[in-house]
Structure 1
Amino acid sequence: MTNNKGRLCGCRCGDTTAGGRFLPGHDAKIVPQLEADHGSMLDFWAWYEEAMKGQEPSKRC
């Protein structure tokens, strides 16, 4: 088991969580950021599928 204390927030705000992957509510920042970076979720998905071609999907816990 790993110690998750001091983990940076997954939204890349720079703040530190109390042990989770995100600060409360910060997980909701991901979709708008992907849309801003790629134009839309459909554009992001097309980019993702192209980037992942030929790679086995990784399992996340």
Structure 2
Amino acid sequence: MTMDNQSRPCGCRCGGVPAGGKFLPGHDSKIVPQLEADHGSLIDFWAWYEKAMVGISPEPPAS
């Protein structure tokens, strides 16, 4: 089952609904700063992601 863009929330989780695509205009640029805030750096995020992808339960990001 696929969702049409009319009911898909913005990928940045702002709560808005884009008319087309996955993000409201400019909201895709919010992702990298949020990953850095959640994980410390993109390198730390990538290490966390790699563990998750091979089935190792990674520690939750430091808040």
Specify the TM-score bucket, using the shorter chain as the normaliser: 0.7 to 0.9
The Cα offsets for residues 25-60 of structure 1, whole Å up to 9 and x where unpaired, read as 000000000000000000000000011115xxxxxx
Q: Alignment length, in residue pairs? A: 54
Which 5+ residue runs of structure 2 have no aligned equivalent? 56-63
Structure 1 runs (4+) greater than 2 angstroms displaced: none
What are structure 1's unaligned runs of at least 5 residues?
55-61
Partner residue of 1:9? 10
The RMSD of aligned alpha carbons is 1.5
Aligned residues: percent identity?
Answer: 72
The one-letter amino acid of 2:32's match is V
Q: TM-score, normalised by structure 2?
A: 0.76
CA distance in 1, matches of 2:21, 2:48: 28
What pairs with 1:3-42 in structure 2 (closer than 5 Å)? 3-42=4-43
